Structure 1
Amino acid sequence: MPRQIFQLRVSLAGVRPPVWRRVLVPGGYTLDRVHRVVQYAMGWQDCHLHCFEIDGTQYGVPDPDDGLPLRDELDTRLDVVVGKSSRFRYTYDFGDWWEHDLVVEDVLTADPDERYPTCLDGEGACPPEDVGGPSGHRVLLDALADPAHPEHDAMRDWLGRPFDPTTFDAGRASTLLRRLC
């Protein structure tokens, strides 16, 4: 049977301007690898906890000490838990609480000449780590956009680099995906 490729649209909930990615992922990937795809495609640094929620079941990295009913993402293949038109959620950083809506837009047959995973398209820069979730992201954008904002200098200094919320490079994301996933 030919290898199945899932076309996923990953959208960051609660942020403006919109931040989303369209990626092609092998259906045989386990959820821990899908986690890495989301991390690298979005632009996160993978320094916080995460979990998936699919049809009311949570998947992630189980911790026997916390007692949470979490299924092991290492044991769960994408093509077993979702199909075409499925919707599920990925949450990253339980402090900032970044929710990502994932939709399986299509299930395709793998192109033997293509390398997977790959990022086809997207929009918007990933918010900086530890900015305070969607509300902190809004404060950051407002402060950076207005030199007269009382937090403009502090936010610019905290960020330590230029930040354009509209910038996204699908080619760079694909390079990271192929190298790191």
Structure 2
Amino acid sequence: MARAIIQLRITLDGVEPTVWRRVLVPGGFTLDRVHRVVQFAMGWGDRHLHVFDIDGMQYGVPDPDGLLDVRDELDTRLDAVAQKGGRLRYTYDFGDWWEHELTVEDVYPADLDAAYPACVAGERACPPDDVGGPDGYRDLVAALADPAHPDHAAMREWLGRPFDPDAFDPSLASTLLRRMT
């Protein structure tokens, strides 16, 4: 039997216009690998903690002190928790609190000639890490768009690179995803 490919739509909550990605992920990936798919496809820097919330259970990196009730993401495969039409929640950076909805759009057999994981579509750039969550991102976009904005120069300096909030290249995201395997 061919391995299952799960088509996920990843949508970042709290940001308008919507930032989203469509990715194709092998069902046999464990949630730690799905975490990396989200990171590479979205454009995050993987510098903060994360957690999946699936049917009331949380999955992530186990807390060595046992203070958090989190199941080990290494022990759970995507195909065990994702069915067509289902939704998973993923939170990245407990300070900025970036919430994502992962919608299972489809499940189908792998194309033996295709490489997985892959990003096949999406729109808009991911906010930079440490920008201050959705409110901080709105402030950044407003400041960068207006050279007369009082924070324009400071935000450009803080960012340290050009940033186009409307730019996204699925082929670049796919290249990054293939390097993770």
Change (3 A) 1:66 1:148: farther
Task: Provide the C-alpha distance between the structure 1 equivalents of 2:146 and 2:114, rounded to a whole number of angstroms.
Answer: 44
Task: Provide the C-alpha distance between the structure 1 equivalents of 2:17 and 2:131, rounded to a whole number of angstroms.
Answer: 16
What's the counterpart of residue 170 of structure 1? Answer: 170
Q: TM-score, normalised by structure 2?
A: 0.98
Task: Provide the C-alpha distance between the structure 2 equivalents of 1:37 and 1:142, rounded to a whole number of angstroms.
Answer: 29
Task: Provide the C-alpha distance between the structure 2 equivalents of 1:135 and 1:66, rounded to a whole number of angstroms.
Answer: 32
Q: TM-score, normalised by structure 1?
A: 0.98
Residue 119 in structure 1 maps to residue 111 in structure 2: no
| Alignment coverage as a number of residue pairs | 181
Q: RMSD across aligned C-alpha pairs, in angstroms?
A: 0.7
Task: Provide the C-alpha distance between the structure 2 equivalents of 1:161 and 1:64, rounded to a whole number of angstroms.
Answer: 37
Residue 154 in structure 1 maps to residue 154 in structure 2: yes
What's the counterpart of residue 15 of structure 1? Answer: 15
Return structure 1 stretches of 4+ with deviation > 4 angstroms. Answer: none
Identity percentage of aligned residues: 71
What's the counterpart of residue 50 of structure 1? Answer: 50
After TM superposition, give the deviation of residue 34 of structure 1 in Å: 0.2
SS at match of 1:89: strand
Alignment of 1:89-100 (within 5 A): 89-100=89-100
CA contact under 8 A between 1:17 and 1:165: conserved in structure 2?
Answer: no
What's the counterpart of residue 72 of structure 1? Answer: 72
Q: Deviations over 1:19-57 (max 9, x none)?
A: 100000000100000000000000011110000000010
Return 5+ residue gaps in structure 2 as ranges.
Answer: none
CA contact under 8 A between 1:41 and 1:173: conserved in structure 2?
Answer: yes
After TM superposition, give the deviation of residue 18 of structure 1 in Å: 1.4
SS at match of 2:32: helix
Q: Deviations over 1:135-175 (max 9, x none)?
A: 00000001011111111111011111111000000000000
Task: Provide the C-alpha distance between the structure 2 equivalents of 1:66 and 1:13, rounded to a whole number of angstroms.
Answer: 29
Task: Provide the C-alpha distance between the structure 2 equivalents of 1:20 and 1:123, rounded to a whole number of angstroms.
Answer: 6
Task: Provide the C-alpha distance between the structure 1 equivalents of 2:22 and 2:161, rounded to a whole number of angstroms.
Answer: 26
What's the counterpart of residue 179 of structure 2? Answer: 179
After TM superposition, give the deviation of residue 82 of structure 1 in Å: 1.5
Task: Provide the C-alpha distance between the structure 2 equivalents of 1:85 and 1:93, rounded to a whole number of angstroms.
Answer: 26
Residue type at the aligned position of 1:14: G
Task: Provide the C-alpha distance between the structure 2 equivalents of 1:119 and 1:108, rounded to a whole number of angstroms.
Answer: 16
Task: Provide the C-alpha distance between the structure 2 equivalents of 1:92 and 1:159, rounded to a whole number of angstroms.
Answer: 20
SS at match of 2:142: helix
Return 5+ residue gaps in structure 1 as ranges.
Answer: none
Residue 32 in structure 1 maps to residue 32 in structure 2: yes
